[in-house]
Each structure stands twice: as structure tokens, then as C-alpha cells.
Amino acid sequence: MSQHNPELQPEPHPHPQEAIQPYAPDFVETPDVPTETVDHPSLPLWIYLVCGVALFMAGSSFTGFSTFGMGLMDQGPGGPTVAAVSAGPAAAETPAQVGMKLYNGNCANCHQRSGEGQPGAYPSLVGSDWVLGSKERLTAILLHGIAGPLTDKGVVYSTNVMPEWSSTFTDEKMADILTYIRSSWGNKASEVTAAEVTAARAKFASQSGPYCEADLLKIAPHGPDPADQK
Ligand code: HEC
């Protein structure tokens, strides 16, 4: 079919029986054509193999093992996993970017990615005196947690406990989280360094169990951190 004999095509004969004799030799040659169709099945075999391997590799990259690694902890469900993977290790992240991933993976289930918390249950970190004030006091909150009534922007929270994170994060990671929450969602306060967390960890090492609000106000009253005072 695909092999054309030019002499065969131009003159379709309305009465094929007349044409049989002069064109008989050409018709005899047409049995060559099927030998070509026999070749076709051997070509797709290559294609199936190549496509099969490509699909397998593409599939395994989507359901990749990183799902079970730190990616989940750092970014949380729905996080920009693909973008983070393609950014690669060469792209250096700022402390706030590292802090954002740690926050989204560890804090957002209560305080929400927006930082707004949940009314009556989890205080908002947006515009919070506790977040924007003393860095030492804020670090103390993260290191040991809070229990009992806590007032945030005139609302008292008392139904839930803020867990401690001293054993979860290194000083560097804790500093990144604090830098992130102090500089996000409209919050504007100075960064927290790993050295400051190290100092706070030593200073508050004797604290056992979570703080209550009165303890925290003894560490520092409300108001900007000395680093943010002009
Ligand atoms: C299991 C839920 C939960 C998680 C997870 C959690 N918190 Fe909290 N957080 C609370 C609760 C509840 C309070 C208020 C405690 C109280 O009323 O005594 C609080 C209070 C706070 C406060 C002080 C209150 C304010 O308005 O600023 C800060 C700061 C804070 N959390 C930061 C964080 C950070 C950062 C993380 C992640 C490392 C985190 N929290 C993870 C539940 C949580």
C-alpha cells in the first residue's frame, strides 16, 4: 500500500477487466508490499522499551522517596516540594526562608501558615507583643512552652498548651524560625541569631516545664526589644 508504483496510479480504469492484461505484471509485483508491513512490529518494540523506562523514571520522581524524608517535616503537606527539589543545594536560602519551612512544618498546624492562629484556641502571631517584643522572652517561650491563661491582643487563651521545642531544634534552626515569625505577615522586628538562642538556652536552662504568663512578664515586660529601639 505504501509502496507506490507511479505507473500504476495515474490512470484508474473504469473497467478493470480491460486493464488486467496490460497491467498484469504490476499487479504481480504488489505481493512485495506485505513484506514491508511485517517490519512494522519490530519498530514499536524499541519505542515501548524507551517509553516504558521514561515513564517509570518520571513516575518515580513524582512519588519520590523525599516524601518520607525531611521534605515533609520542613514544608508540610502542599508545600512547594517540586520547586524546592529543583532549586537544588546550590541555591542558598536566607534564614527567613529556612525558618518559613520549619514554621510551616512544625507550627502552622496550630498557628496557621498565615500566622493568624485559630480564634479561642491558638493565638495569632501577627502583631503579637510576645513575638515582636523581647527576643530573649520569645526564645524562652519556644524553649520551654507556655501553659495557663495567656493574653494576646486583649484575648485570653487558656484551653491549650504551647509545647516546648528545646530538644527539637538546634540553636540555628530556632533562630531561623524566630527570624521568620518576626519578619512575616506584616511583622517587622529584628532578626534573632543562633548566638542569641545559645545564650537564652543557657540562661533559662533551670526552667523545668512550661512558663505561665507571669513568669514571662518577669523575664521582660511588653515593649520592643532593645535591638529595635531607636
Ligand atoms: C499544638 C499546637 C501548637 C504548636 C504546634 C505550636 N504552638 Fe505556639 N502556642 C500554642 C498555644 C495553645 C499557645 C498559647 C498558650 C497558652 O495559652 O498558654 C501558643 C503560644 C505561642 C506564642 C505566644 C503567644 C503569641 O500570641 O505570640 C508564640 C510566640 C508561639 N506560640 C510560637 C510558636 C512557634 C514558633 C511554633 C513552632 C515552632 C509553635 N508556636 C507551635 C499552640 C501551639
Residue 52 pLDDT > 80: no
Q: Quote the pLDDT of residue 103.
A: 98
What does the pLDDT average to over 114-135? 97
Encode pLDDT of 83-100 as tens digits: 555 555 667 999 999 999
Ligand 1 atom, smallest distance to 165 CA: 38
C-alpha dihedral sign at 116, 117, 120, 122: negative
> Which of 114, 135, 162 for a ligand 1 pocket mutation test, highest count of atoms within 8 Å of Cβ?
162
Q: Quote the pLDDT of residue 49.
A: 55
Q: Quote the pLDDT of residue 68.
A: 47
Q: How far is the CA of 10 from the centre of ligand 1 (A)?
A: 86
Q: Quote the pLDDT of residue 86.
A: 57
DSSP 152-177: ETTEEE-SS-BPP-TTTS-HHHHHHH
Q: Decide: 207 and 146 in contact? Cβ < 8 Å.
A: no
Q: How far is the CA of 17 from the centre of ligand 1 (A)?
A: 95
Describe the chain by its helix, strand, coil percentages, rounded to 5.
55, 5, 40
Encode pLDDT of 99-123 as tens digits: 999 999 999 999 999 999 999 999 9
Lowest model confidence (mean pLDDT) among 3-7, 98-102, 156-160, 206-210: 3-7
* Distance between CA atoms of residues 53 and 152, nearest Å: 57
In this prediction the pTM is 0.68
Regarding predicted confidence, which is higher, 100 or 22? 100
What does the pLDDT average to over 67-83? 49
Q: Quote the pLDDT of residue 229.
A: 85
> Which of 110, 130, 136 for a ligand 1 pocket mutation test, highest count of atoms within 8 Å of Cβ?
110
What does the pLDDT average to over 216-228? 96
Neighbours of 116 (CB within 10 A): 14
Q: Which domains does the chain have, with CATH numbers?
A: 93-228 (1.10.760.10)
* Distance between CA atoms of residues 165 and 144, nearest Å: 7
Residue 109 in contact with ligand 1 by CB distance below 6 A: yes
Residue 110 in contact with ligand 1 by CB distance below 6 A: yes
